[in-house]
Structure 1
Amino acid sequence: MPLPPPDHARNIRLIGHSDQGGRPDALQVMVHRGYAYVAHPWSRGFSIVDVRDPKNPGATVYVPSPPNTWTIHLQTHDDLLLVIHARDLFADAAFAADEKVYYTRSVGETVGTAGGARTARNWSAGMAIYDIADPVAPRQIGFFPVEGVGIHRIWYVGGRYAYVSALLDGYTDYIFLVVDLADPTRPVEAGRWWIPGMHAAGGETPSWGEGRRYALHHAVVAGDTAYACWRDGGLTILDIADRAQPKLVTHRNWSPPFGGGTHSALPLPARDLLIVADEAVLDNEEDGRKHTFVFDIREPSNPVSIATLPTPDDADYPAKGGHFGPHNLHENRPGSFVSDTLVFATWQNAGIRVFDISDPYRPRETGALVPAAPERMVDARANRPQVIQSADLFVDANGIIYATDYNAGLSIMEYLG
């Protein structure tokens, strides 16, 4: 089949596309040993796509999730695949009717678990661990259970520890957990940390008021430091040299005056820089113009924002419909494309963007590709526009970009810059 012509392209060329076996919805993507592992938000489960020839993606293997369970984020390293399990919140009437509820209210309070009450659970909560020595035949070997809504996202690049965001009974929203994988068949919690005010069952009271959501999206770890993004709670830098007792180095929050949604951090330790993206979470910039910030972290206790990545302006994206603004960053995982000067990002209805930060004070866009609109809608939420919403991306060691969308399948592209 011919490739769907992109709406816009500059220095990036579309070379392949997959509908992921007829399940074109996806959130996180990992490419490992020639296979793309894509996590579905509405088709429930994950798929494995053969991308050994990225111009001609091959067969797809689908692994369904347990009933009523999200498996929207995953990680791969060596022979392990880690997959989150959580309550399918987009199937909940409160969230499906109005996406604003998900982004502007504490999930623990909305679903009634913040006070510590353990309601009957008809979903799976925790983290599944698979052996993927055979990349298309994942074999579950372990499970890390949690009491609560479940886990949202994972950071794991090998070694003993994984780092997850988890919504446990008794907390207002997702907090930071360290998981010990010394024996991946029997993972155990090693430590936890949260922003004071989140442990409702412990008598803590939020100080941030209504309409704001303090919740860990995820942390990226470099050495003994975790760079954690807390949506409307901003950024924390944590010292995790003692995994059992994470310690706060500093907490920075620029919301207000900015609109919150702090989502993804990309540390560049060799240059003492940190890239931090605030996610656009509401249509037509209702939550304000969102930015991706460049921080100088030479002094970790005092990170200073020195620039923002340029906002795409090659079309009227605020009027296009859907979300316009940053979402995910390519995270320089071991074995993938690693760069201290190029930042790859998804910008939702503005597609995929590449930025050169050789001069961190003057970042410049050097590539863009906006995939075509989805042919059909899989997103089950009410009143969603049929526009591209580029969600996540992974850049392999050869510089090939794999980008997901909520409805439009897997776009495979080559950066020409």
Structure 2
Amino acid sequence: MTATADIMTPDLARNMRLIGHCDQGGRGDGVQIMVENGFAYIGHLFSQGFSIVDVRDAANPKAAGYVAAPANTWNVHLQVADNLLLVIHGKDVFADSAFSDEASYYKAAAGTALGTAAPKQARDWDAGLAVYDISVPGQPRRIGFMPVSGGIHRIWYTGGRWAYVSALLDGFSDFIFMTVDMSDPARPREAGRYWLPGMNLAAGEKPGWEPNRKFGLHHAIVDGDTAWGAWRDAGLVVMNVADRAKPELVVHRNWSPPFQGGTHNCLPLADRDLLVVVDEAVLDDFGDGLKNIWIFDIKDKANPVPVASMPVPIDEDYPRKGAHYGPHNIHENRPGTFQSSSIIFSTWQNAGVRVYDIANPRQPKEVGALVPPAPRSMADRRPGKKAIIQSCDIFVDRAGLAYVTDYNAGLYIMEFNG
């Protein structure tokens, strides 16, 4: 835990305040975060493995453990429910010099970039879904693993029988949607899959998009029998999963071009027939242009209609600040966490955290902001990287405390006072 005046003095705070900070045991890089029974579980982007942080005292969070990943493997994303921790295993992309320039990964199909689209080749990373028992809080004990040939990127799991993953399979151009049967957590198994036509190269399908377009699933949020898939440069893919063994397409909508693509989250607000959709900024120095957080009307699931986008931060010239500028993630209203269909928490990387009120979905407004100070050290040692805040993932607990990770700056705990 490092908590000095500069670390706890934000560059900007409006209707928000910092509560605590933790350097995660010297591994300041974090991607997805889950908080359960007083402990945070944080996937790393550069340090491989995942960390555990004791957050029972939000003002004094303490590093409480670290689980190393196998060689050349990252655990960037994870999920917690039913005393289980699910952790992805995939290739540590940014440890590979071939991807030191992020565009070389984000402007190519994953299967092509990682070599999994071709006939089976030797690989030096671990690939699949690991399952841990966390019935003793803060002490994960691995109990199961499901191999997935090319790896998994992200998971949606809120307990019960079904998990949903974005899976990279041999012979496919990029990540596809897969349902996973968790009825025996020690032996998770694939139940069904869906992909966009053109992705199954091994079956002779031909992509109908340019090679530099990333037509692959980031992840899907599942509400009832509907999966809302964020398919990166392919936009929104809505699937019916009433039969988990046979997901079916409801509708595919893509707004790229003319907009920039990179769709990352699709959060349904079922009580209001709304969908919040995030397009992720992935390149430094505004290299992929303006990305938006959209609001869609989904009264008819087969005809989602965009009605507005969130206002962009205007309190500084963020496009010229450096590093990544633009949306990355939102709080996803998981069961047992902060629930709202009108207040949206989001991360904007070099523009920190932004909170929006969408009571009027056609006129969303920013009602809170917090930009943490620059990181004191860098976990990201790729050439040209600068010490600039990069707020990454956000998890908001039932009490309203927001837990925010960064690519370098450790874990920040903050509060919205709007």
| Post-superposition CA distance 1:313-334 (Å, at most 9, x none) | 1000000001111110100000
* Structure 1 residue 287 displacement after superposition: 1.3
> Using the alignment, how far apart are the partners of 2:113 and 2:26 within structure 1?
33
Aligned to 1:107: 110
Q: TM-score, normalised by structure 1?
A: 0.98
| Post-superposition CA distance 1:79-130 (Å, at most 9, x none) | 100000011111122112x110111101211222212x21123221000000
Aligned to 2:416: 415
Of residues 380-389 and 238-247 in structure 1, the stretch that sits farther from structure 2 once superposed is: 380-389
Q: Tell me, yes or no, if structure 1 residue 78 matches structure 2 residue 82.
A: yes
Letter in 1 for 2:394: L
* Structure 1 residue 20 displacement after superposition: 0.5
Aligned to 1:136: 138
> Using the alignment, how far apart are the partners of 1:349 and 1:137 within structure 2?
33
Q: TM-score, normalised by structure 2?
A: 0.98
> Using the alignment, how far apart are the partners of 1:231 and 1:266 within structure 2?
15
> Using the alignment, how far apart are the partners of 2:41 and 2:189 within structure 1?
25
Runs of 4+ in structure 1 off by over 2 angstroms are none
Aligned to 2:16: 12
> Using the alignment, how far apart are the partners of 2:404 and 2:204 within structure 1?
43
Q: Tell me, yes or no, if structure 1 residue 334 matches structure 2 residue 335.
A: yes
* Structure 1 residue 381 displacement after superposition: 2.3
Pick from 119, 125, 133: which aligns with 1:123? 125
Letter in 2 for 1:30: M
Aligned to 1:383: 384
8 Å Cα contact 1:171-1:198 kept in structure 2: yes
Q: What secondary structure is seen at the aligned counterpart in 2 of 1:385?
A: coil
> Using the alignment, how far apart are the partners of 1:296 and 1:217 within structure 2?
22
Aligned to 2:70: 66
Q: Tell me, yes or no, if structure 1 residue 282 matches structure 2 residue 286.
A: no
> Using the alignment, how far apart are the partners of 1:91 and 1:351 within structure 2?
25
Q: Tell me, yes or no, if structure 1 residue 184 matches structure 2 residue 188.
A: no
Aligned to 2:4: 2
Q: Tell me, yes or no, if structure 1 residue 145 matches structure 2 residue 170.
A: no
Letter in 1 for 2:4: P
> Using the alignment, how far apart are the partners of 2:125 and 2:137 within structure 1?
26
* Structure 1 residue 212 displacement after superposition: 1.1
> Using the alignment, how far apart are the partners of 2:137 and 2:75 within structure 1?
18
> Using the alignment, how far apart are the partners of 2:311 and 2:141 within structure 1?
43
Pick from 31, 34, 38: which aligns with 1:30? 34
Q: What secondary structure is seen at the aligned counterpart in 2 of 1:413?
A: strand
* Structure 1 residue 67 displacement after superposition: 1.1
| Post-superposition CA distance 1:292-349 (Å, at most 9, x none) | 0000000000000000011001000000001111110100000100001100000010
Q: What secondary structure is seen at the aligned counterpart in 2 of 1:347?
A: strand
Unpaired segments of 5 or more residues in structure 2? none
* Structure 1 residue 284 displacement after superposition: 2.4
Q: What secondary structure is seen at the aligned counterpart in 1 of 2:323?
A: coil
Letter in 1 for 2:246: Q
Q: Tell me, yes or no, if structure 1 residue 356 matches structure 2 residue 357.
A: yes
Identity %: 60
Which aligned pairs between 1:48-63 and structure 2 lie closer than 5 A? 48-63=52-67
Letter in 1 for 2:124: N
8 Å Cα contact 2:22-2:63 kept in structure 1: no
* Structure 1 residue 380 displacement after superposition: 2.9
How many residues were matched structurally?
414
Q: What secondary structure is seen at the aligned counterpart in 1 of 2:389?
A: coil
Q: Tell me, yes or no, if structure 1 residue 268 matches structure 2 residue 269.
A: yes
8 Å Cα contact 1:99-1:381 kept in structure 2: no
